[in-house]
Amino acid sequence: MRALLEFAMRSRLAAVGMVALGALMPLLFWLSAGLLALITLRRGLAEGGLILAGATAALVPIYAVMLGTPLAVLQPLALIWLPVMGMAQVLRVRVSLATAIQAGALVAAGAVVAFYGLYGDPSVFWRQVLEVLSQQLLAAPPGEGWDRTVEQLAPRLTGLWVTNVLGVALLCLLLGRWWQAMLYNPGGFRSEFHDLHLSRWFAALAAAAVLAGAFNAPGLLADLGTILGAVFILQAVAVAHAIVARRGWHTGWLVGFYLVLPLLLRPAVLIGLADPIMNFRARLAPES
């Protein structure tokens, strides 16, 4: 991996080729976004923009042939590449991983508010999307069970979809930061991630959104609570990594943590929300 990264960082042409190649392979899509984050972190937003423009220009005719429309390139461009580069630039300027994460989460929350302003009731939009998908994927007309699933899922899909997009963008940002440390600052990412502390004001805002969403029907407040609350899973992960490292525990503890994490997402959110005040790292594993 290091050799590929060094190759991509040698010239603009190499970087453009790597970003475009990653975008063409679904299992390697993370490569293109992570590389754009790395370039932006190392050389700035202007250089990242040039690489993005070159990769987009290369992908337009390829997507036109493969998918029937050159506009397909707009999906990764708008949903992943631009958000990742924006957060990377914030991280480059502010030198604060927490600030970059918070900026991305607030933009995602703003996008949800705009989506509600555009559609009024987004569940109508999602019902139409799910109906089209069912017609394309199912050989026979869906039954009543599918209709009930759609009715339950549609009001929640805005928050779930944006949370998923934000999660992918954040992981690509972290990947780019890790690669930057690998090439130019060995060990820097580990210490930076272990010391991740989202702000108290952001935790208070997220907690208010989570509580408001919990006591209201699915809608804007619930979606905002889903998005802002999910960010604090990352805080809980940072806490787990820091405690394991400071106590000198075997990495098997982290393997176990990741295995049970999908089953304990809500407790992880609560731990992350409480950490800005409780500072679990200092309490459970103080630095020597």
Q: At residue 120, does pLDDT exceed 90?
A: no
Do residues 248 and 105 share a domain? yes
H runs (alpha helix) in the chain? 2-8, 12-24, 29-43, 45-67, 74-76, 82-94, 97-119, 122-137, 144-153, 157-184, 188-194, 200-214, 220-247, 252-260, 265-278, 280-284
pLDDT of residue 142: 65
Residue 139 has phi, psi (to 5 degrees) of -70, -35
Query: Rounded to an integer, what distance in angstroms lies between the CA atom of residue 217 and that of residue 222?
Result: 7
Which distant-in-sequence residues (6+ apart) come within 8 Å of 38 by Cβ?
Answer: 5, 8, 9, 176, 179, 180, 183
Whole domain around residue 161: which residue ranges? 96-288
Do residues 53 and 128 share a domain? no
Last residue of a domain, one of 51, 72, 95: 95
Do residues 54 and 144 share a domain? no
Q: At how many degrees (to 10) do helices 252-260 and 220-247 cross?
A: 160
Q: At residue 206, does pLDDT exceed 90?
A: yes
Contact between 34 and 175 under an 8 Å Cβ cutoff? The reply is yes
Q: What is the pLDDT of residues 86-112, one digit of tens each?
A: 999 999 999 999 999 999 999 999 999
When mean pLDDT is compared across 56-60, 223-227, 234-238, the lowest value belongs to 56-60
pLDDT of residue 129: 84
Do residues 113 and 233 share a domain? yes
Q: At residue 71, does pLDDT exceed 90?
A: no
pLDDT of residue 283: 87
Do residues 219 and 273 share a domain? yes
When mean pLDDT is compared across 45-54, 73-82, 265-274, the lowest value belongs to 73-82
Query: Rounded to an integer, what distance in angstroms lies between the CA atom of residue 228 and that of residue 144?
Result: 33
Neighbours of 193 (CB within 10 A): 18
Contact between 35 and 18 under an 8 Å Cβ cutoff? The reply is yes
Which residue bears the tokens 């502390």?
197
pLDDT of residue 217: 82
Do residues 102 and 40 share a domain? no
Domain total of the chain: 2
Q: At residue 192, does pLDDT exceed 90?
A: yes
Look at phi and psi of residue 287 and say left if phi exceeds 0, alpha if psi is from -120 to 50, else beta: beta
Do residues 264 and 139 share a domain? yes
Last residue of a domain, one of 67, 95, 123: 95
Do residues 28 and 139 share a domain? no
Last residue of a domain, one of 61, 95, 129: 95
Which residue bears the tokens 């050159």?
70
Do residues 62 and 112 share a domain? no
Single-letter code of the amino acid located at 36: L
When mean pLDDT is compared across 78-82, 116-120, 133-137, 276-280, the lowest value belongs to 133-137
Do residues 219 and 247 share a domain? yes
Contact between 172 and 31 under an 8 Å Cβ cutoff? The reply is no
